[in-house]
């Protein structure tokens, strides 16, 4: 404003006011610009990028909860369930909805058993747990308890019952070693799963196969996890379910094994308190019908999580219930190995009628070699049937280790088989090459080592599955059949063990050994204990009494005398029917004493079960002129021929004390 201009209204308006007006306008303008900026930003966020943020918002709001898939069942060859699932009810307590935990727990304890210690523990857990993570009050409550909780639900705010599934093994221990068990996922399991494990592995309800078939076929049995769409809040607490958005779980594949639950259960039954293994195969197809290790343990306990005390008890028991003796332990095969020595001799032109004289002892190489008794003059047939050691010491000596080993290996001895279960120990069939490899300081095979090998001792160590394969190949007579455990996965048939090359031996030589094995049960070592009592259907076999400890110095005990741990291992390999073999078996009774007494009766009972279940064999047993009576395979003795033992003595009772 020019001072010269006459002013009326602005006379009093001083410079300060003018400045104020200009500056107020400026400030107002700046604020307006600020507000415009905010508006612009709002438009950018809410109009331009709205879609992106709406997606992010939905991602916040909705969560997919993994749902563990139902694990595939494991069934036997006839569809009998060996491993299945059952519903499980868990009681959960949500901390933020419970005002008085003590009173609520008191009320719950009227419906579900809860002792005071557990209650105190739960109150501590509730106090320490994150607010929105429910605490598990009781795992696996019964359906009745679940129902009673649901009825009283209005009085129990914050108490929810969660329905899940748990693995169940209906036969408890009978299949524990072969099927294994599932358990909670461990750190190791996660590490093995690699850097990006299946997210279901982190689900608290998920169980992973820890042993046996459950472990080796875990991925097949597992299935694919489903997802449940739930609305959650920022703390992950579930607000609402949205069933329309659920993705259903894909159940795991059903695995059918070649096992026969009846045979395996029978085997466990007749094993009694003994320790050992029993394997049975269909000698035409190679299917494993029984793969038992005894004593066993209840796999169901391992699903829940076995207690330390229970585990300690299992681990420290000298009968080793946790060890799969059918695959994972090796033993000297004893006299069962003589079948191999005999075959090797025949293959190398030894005259089967050549005889040796057995006087109970034989002096050779500067020491005495023993036999069980003086068998007198023995040819090969007789020596197998009576299991004369003196004959086989000398026969083996004539052959040397390499020839015997070559034959034994053709029968699967010292071999492992791809049956879908890990943990097989190959054992050993020794030869000169082995001696060179394993004993650099003493690489030469000494002739003095051969006689022991001739009777299945010395370096020879084998597992029961191998002996069963040996028996099955002898029984088959033609093919080197392979054992098969997994019949089908998800309905897809697995390759059969029958598609195998022929055994490179003369048929008449194998027949010779088979005839000698028939004599074992007819008149030989097992004549008293290996009678099937099934009329024309007879079993052939070979006993074995394998030295577990050296006898010298009184540390080992021959037969069934002495301390359990020092006794001999009892073996029996068998096949039946003798004239048309269908089934082959091997039985090991650890420290059982004589094979004929301890192992043969078990093989006999298994064989009876298998034969009586076989309709074609039953036709032969039943007299043609009689009307076919009902024969219940579970009650083999009912109303049949007098030699059918109606009360089969448990091997534990008959074994010890009875001299061979």
Partner 1 sequence: MISSALTRPGERDRWVVKFGDIDWMLCALLCLVAAAGGLMLYSIAGSSWKPWAGDHLFRFGLFFGLMIVLSLVDIRVWFAMAYPIYGFGLLMLLGVEAAGDISLGAKRWLSVGVLKFQPSEIMKIGIVLGLARFYHALSAEDARFSWKLMIPAAMIGLPALLVAHQPDLGTAILLAATGLSVMVIAGLSLRLIALGVAGVGAMAPVVFMFLLHPYQRERLTIFLHPDSDPSGAGYHTLQAKIALGSGGLLGKGYGLGSQSQLNFLPEKQTDFIFATLAEEFGFIGCFSVLLIYSAIVVIALRIASISHSHFGRMSAAGITSTFAFYVLINGAMVMGLAPVVGVPMPLLSYGGTVMLSVMVGFGLVQSVRVHRYAEVTSGKGTLW
Residues contributing to the site for partner 1 (CB under 8 A): 14-17, 19-21, 23-24, 26-28, 31-32, 34-35, 37-39, 41-43, 45-47, 49-50, 52-54, 56-58, 60-61, 231-235, 239
Angle of CA points 268, 270, 273, to nearest 5° = 75
Angle between helices 389-399 and 401-410 (to 10 degrees): 100
Q: Could you give the 3-state DSSP secondary structure of residue 103?
A: helix
Closest approach of Cβ 236 to partner 1, in Å?
10
Q: 58 or 552: whose CB is closer to partner 1?
A: 58
CB 214 within 8 A of CB 179: yes
The upper half-sphere exposure of residue 56, i.e. CA atoms within 13 Å in the direction of its Cβ, equals 6
Residue 19 neighbours by CB distance under 10 Å: 10
Instruction: Find tokens 């007098």 and name the residue.
Output: 642
Q: Closest CB to partner 1 among 19 and 127?
A: 19
CB of 498 to partner 1, least distance (A): 59
- The nearer residue to partner 1, 14 or 646, going by C-beta atoms, is 14
Nearer to partner 1, 61 or 148 (CB): 61
Q: Give min distance, CB of 422 to partner 1, in A.
A: 41
Least Å distance between CB 17 and partner 1?
A: 7
Residue (64 or 364) nearer to partner 1, CB: 64
Q: CA–CA separation, 393 vs 453, rounded Å?
A: 8
CB of 324 to partner 1, least distance (A): 47
Rounded least distance, CB 14 to partner 1, Å: 7
Q: Does residue 535 sit in helix, strand or coil?
A: coil
Identity of the residue, 62 or 311, whose beta carbon is nearer to partner 1 in the bound complex: 62
Q: How far is CA 34 from CA 24, 37, 39, 626, in A?
A: 15, 5, 9, 109
**Smaller CB distance to partner 1: residue 19 or 563?**
19
Name which of 41 and 561 has its Cβ closer to partner 1. 41
Question: Is 545 in contact with 335 (CB distance < 8 Å)?
Answer: yes
Q: What angle do CA 197, 199, 202 make, to 5 degrees?
A: 95
Q: How far is the CB of 492 from partner 1 (least distance, A)?
A: 45
- The minimum distance between CB 195 and partner 1, in angstroms, equals 21
**Closest distance of CB 20 from partner 1, Å:** 5
Structure tokens belonging to residue 370? 């023993």
Q: Which two tokens stand for residue 619?
A: 């036709």
Structure tokens at 333: 């095969």
Q: At its nearest, how many Å lie between partner 1 and the CB of residue 39?
A: 6
Size (the chain), residues: 660
Collect contacts of 227-232 with beta carbons under 8 A, ≥24 apart: 227/64, 227/65, 227/66, 227/67, 228/64, 228/65, 228/66, 228/67, 229/62, 229/63, 229/64, 229/65, 230/62, 230/63, 230/64, 230/65, 231/61, 231/62, 231/63, 232/61, 232/62, 232/63
CB of 259 to partner 1, least distance (A): 51
How many helices (H) and strands (E) the chain has is answered by 23, 21
Shortest distance in whole angstroms from residue 26 CB to partner 1? 8
Q: How far is the CB of 98 from partner 1 (least distance, A)?
A: 20
For residue 588, the minimal CB distance to partner 1 (Å) is 59
d(CA 216, CA 534): 39
Token output for 24 = 């107020």
Structure tokens at 540: 């052939």
Measured from the CB atom, the residue of 24 and 438 that comes closer to partner 1 is: 24
CB atoms within 10 A of CB 247: 14
**Residue whose CB is less far from partner 1, 26 or 433:** 26
> Per-residue DSSP letters for 298-343?
-HHHHHH---HHHHHHHHH-TT-TTS-TTTS--B--GGGGHHHHHH
What element of type H or E holds 619? helix 615-621
Which CB atom, from 37 or from 361, has the smaller least distance to partner 1?
A: 37
Q: How far is the CB of 151 from partner 1 (least distance, A)?
A: 30
Instruction: For partner 1, give the closer residue by CB, 31 or 202.
Output: 31
3-class SS string, 447-499: HHHHHHHHCCCCCCEECHHHHHHHHHHHHHCCECCCCECEEEECCEECCCCCC
Maximum C-alpha span of the chain = 158
Burial class (CB in 10 A: 0-12, 13-18, 19+), 71: buried
Phi then psi dihedrals of residue 340, to 5 deg = -70, -40
Residue 165's CB is within 10 A of a number of other CB atoms, namely 16
What is the rounded distance in angstroms from the CA atom of residue 17 to the CA atom of residue 12? 10
**54 Cβ contact list (under 8 Å, min separation 6):** none
* Contact status, residue 449 vs residue 428, Cβ threshold 8 Å: no
CB distance 607 to 585 below 8 Å: yes
Q: For residue 78, what are the CA distances in angstroms to 172, 239, 424? A: 18, 46, 26
Q: For partner 1, give the closer residue by CB, 35 or 563.
A: 35
């Amino acid at each position: 404003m020019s001072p010269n201009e006459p002013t009326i209204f602005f006379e009093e308006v001083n410079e300060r006011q003018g400045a104020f007006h200009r500056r107020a306008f400026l400030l107002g303008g700046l604020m307006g610009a600020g507000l415009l900026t905010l508006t612009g930003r709002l438009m950018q966020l809410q109009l331009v990028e709205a879609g992106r943020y709406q997606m992010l918002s939905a991602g916040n709001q909705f969560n997919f909860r993994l749902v563990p898939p139902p694990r595939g069942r494991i069934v036997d060859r006839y569809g009998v369930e060996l491993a299945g699932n059952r519903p499980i009810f868990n009681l959960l307590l949500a901390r933020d909805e419970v005002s008085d935990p003590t009173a609520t727990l008191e009320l719950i304890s009227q419906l579900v058993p809860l002792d005071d210690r557990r209650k105190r523990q739960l109150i501590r857990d509730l106090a320490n747990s994150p607010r929105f993570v429910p605490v598990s009050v009781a795992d696996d409550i019964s359906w009745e308890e679940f129902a009673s909780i649901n009825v009283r639900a209005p009085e129990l705010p914050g108490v929810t019952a969660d329905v899940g599934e748990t693995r169940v093994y209906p036969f408890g221990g009978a299949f524990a070693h072969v099927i294994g068990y599932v358990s909670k996922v461990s750190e190791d399991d996660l590490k093995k799963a690699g850097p990006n494990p299946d997210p279901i592995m982190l689900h608290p309800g998920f169980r992973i196969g820890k042993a046996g078939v459950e472990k080796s076929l875990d991925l097949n049995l597992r299935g694919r996890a489903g997802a449940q769409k739930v609305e959650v809040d920022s703390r992950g607490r579930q607000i609402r379910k949205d069933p329309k958005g659920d993705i259903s779980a894909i159940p795991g594949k059903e695995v059918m094994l070649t096992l026969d639950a009846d045979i395996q259960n029978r085997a466990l039954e007749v094993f009694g308190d003994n320790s050992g293994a029993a394997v049975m195969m269909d000698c035409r197809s190679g299917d494993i019908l029984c793969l038992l290790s005894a004593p066993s343990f209840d796999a169901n306990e391992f699903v829940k999580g076995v207690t330390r005390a229970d585990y300690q008890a299992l681990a420290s028991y000298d009968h080793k219930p946790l060890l799969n003796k059918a695959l994972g332990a090796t033993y000297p095969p004893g006299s069962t190995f003589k079948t191999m020595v005999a075959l090797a001799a025949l293959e190398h032109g030894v005259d089967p009628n050549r005889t040796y004289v057995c006087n109970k002892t034989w002096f050779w190489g500067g020491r005495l070699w023993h036999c069980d008794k003086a068998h007198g003059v023995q040819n090969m047939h007789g020596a197998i049937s009576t299991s004369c050691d003196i004959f086989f010491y000398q026969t083996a000596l004539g052959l040397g280790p390499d020839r015997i080993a070559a034959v034994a290996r053709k029968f699967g001895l010292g071999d492992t088989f791809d049956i879908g279960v890990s943990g097989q120990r190959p054992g050993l069939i020794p030869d000169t090459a082995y001696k060179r490899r394993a004993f650099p300081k003493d690489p030469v095979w000494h002739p003095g080592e051969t006689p022991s090998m001739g009777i299945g001792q010395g370096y020879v160590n084998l597992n029961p599955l191998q002996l069963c394969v040996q028996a099955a190949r002898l029984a088959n007579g033609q093919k080197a059949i392979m054992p098969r455990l997994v019949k089908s996965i998800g309905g897809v048939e697995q390759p059969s063990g029958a598609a195998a090359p022929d055994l490179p031996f003369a048929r008449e030589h194998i027949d010779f050994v088979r005839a000698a094995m028939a004599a074992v049960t007819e008149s030989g070592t097992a004549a008293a204990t290996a009678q099937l009592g099934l009329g024309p259907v007879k079993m052939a076999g070979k006993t074995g009494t394998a030295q577990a400890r050296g006898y010298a110095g009184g540390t080992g005990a021959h037969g069934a005398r002495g301390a359990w741990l020092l006794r001999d291992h009892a073996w029996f390999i068998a096949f039946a029917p003798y004239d048309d073999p269908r089934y082959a078996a091997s039985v090991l009774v650890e420290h059982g004493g004589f094979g004929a007494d301890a192992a043969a009766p078990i093989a006999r009972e298994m064989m009876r079960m298998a034969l009586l279940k076989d309709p074609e064999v039953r036709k032969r047993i039943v007299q043609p002129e009689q009307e076919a009576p009902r024969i219940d395979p579970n009650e083999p003795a009912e109303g049949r021929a007098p030699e059918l033992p109606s009360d089969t003595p448990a091997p534990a009772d008959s074994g010890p004390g009875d001299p061979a």
